[in-house]
Structure 1
């Protein structure tokens, strides 16, 4: 586990990073990449949208172009204070909270977005299961995280800092959390910059869940050969 896959250390890290975050972020995750991901998600005007790990509100600004009902959650008060300065009180509802224990009822949102947050989660599948819980059946979530480096040296550095993962690991995590129709997109600000892996997945409908439960509970009888 990387040094920043610890909530208290991550909060301390962002206490100082928040001062320069909006100047550094475009070199890794810029407006073009954000807007491309937003187009993939297909948000409708009447959707209730949750931005998990909203930080300084960079993604939140984009989400507001699609819906007036946007909610942001983050564990870093220092990051959120930057977001508070960007929006009027009635534009976004903010919550301080934990991705692994979301303070919302089941099926509370139509869309969930999370960018630049999963790499700090000690238990990513737990958080993804929470995403599935608070998003309505049949609706989608989008998660952006850092793509695993190709170089062995950078892989060792990455593993020591935070969670980096490839498409196979993303697929495993989302499947384990119970999502369906999972797709992955690799995005990059410019050649040579770190790559982002953007995953979009759907919460299964109730009948799909029932079918999955039925198939898991079905025992297959294997014929036993006997001597004639």
Structure 2
């Protein structure tokens, strides 16, 4: 497990990264990549969408171009402060401070779930993906963007010490274990030589989630 796959260390990391996040992020995950991923999700104007790991709201801005019912969740108070400055706490977006592995929403609450730049910090990605399956409506889709596993041994060793990097085979395993179907993987890259993102889109099965899904939390404002 990488050093940032620990919730307290990840929160500390984002306390400082939040100050420069919006300037650094476009070199790795830019508007063009975000908009390409949004096309895959094919949102409707009345969809209720959850943005897990919303951070400062970069993906949230893109989601608002497709629907006016967006809900953002993040574990970092410092990232959320930046998001509040952009959107207000309850104006264009309703925000929550919470954990991807224990979402504070009832079953079948959302028409779609989006998460970009968050999975790499989850200690238990499959548990979080099961939560996504629980809160998204049966037959509806989720989209998750994470860092593609490096191709060279040196960078693989470095990546493994920091946080979760994974390839298409591992993504397939995680999503299948979480109970998703119709799983697709797309590799995205800002420019040649820059870090590659792996974007996975999958559908929740038509039947209800298993009884062993995580206990439902209580929906509260951040």
Normalising by structure 2, we get a TM-score of 0.93
1:73-88 equivalences under 5 Å are 73-88=73-88
- Runs of 4 or more consecutive aligned structure 1 residues displaced over 4 Å after TM superposition: none
Paired positions, count:
209
Residue in 2 aligned with 1:128?
Answer: 129
Equivalents in 2 of 1:24, 1:160: separation in Å? 21
Partner deviation per Cα, 1:51-76 (whole Å, 9 max, x = no partner):
00000000000000111100000000
- Deviation, structure 1 residue 207: 8.6
Structure 2 gap segments, 5+ residues each: 211-222
Q: Say whether residues 1:201 and 2:188 are aligned partners.
A: no
Gaps of 5+ in 1: 210-228
1:34 has 2:64 as partner: no
C-alpha RMSD of matched pairs (Å): 1.2
SS of 2:73 mapped into structure 1: strand
Deviation at 1:161, TM superposition (A): 0.1
CA distance in 1, matches of 2:85, 2:208: 44
Match of 1:169 in 2: 170
1:92 maps onto 2:93 in alignment = yes
Select the structure with the greater relative contact order (CA < 8 A; seq sep ≥ 6): 2
After superposition, give the CA deviation of every residue in 1:19-65 in whole Å (9 maximum; x if it has no partner): 00000000000000000000110000110000000000000000001
Question: Match of 1:86, SS?
Answer: helix
SS in 1 for 2:174: helix
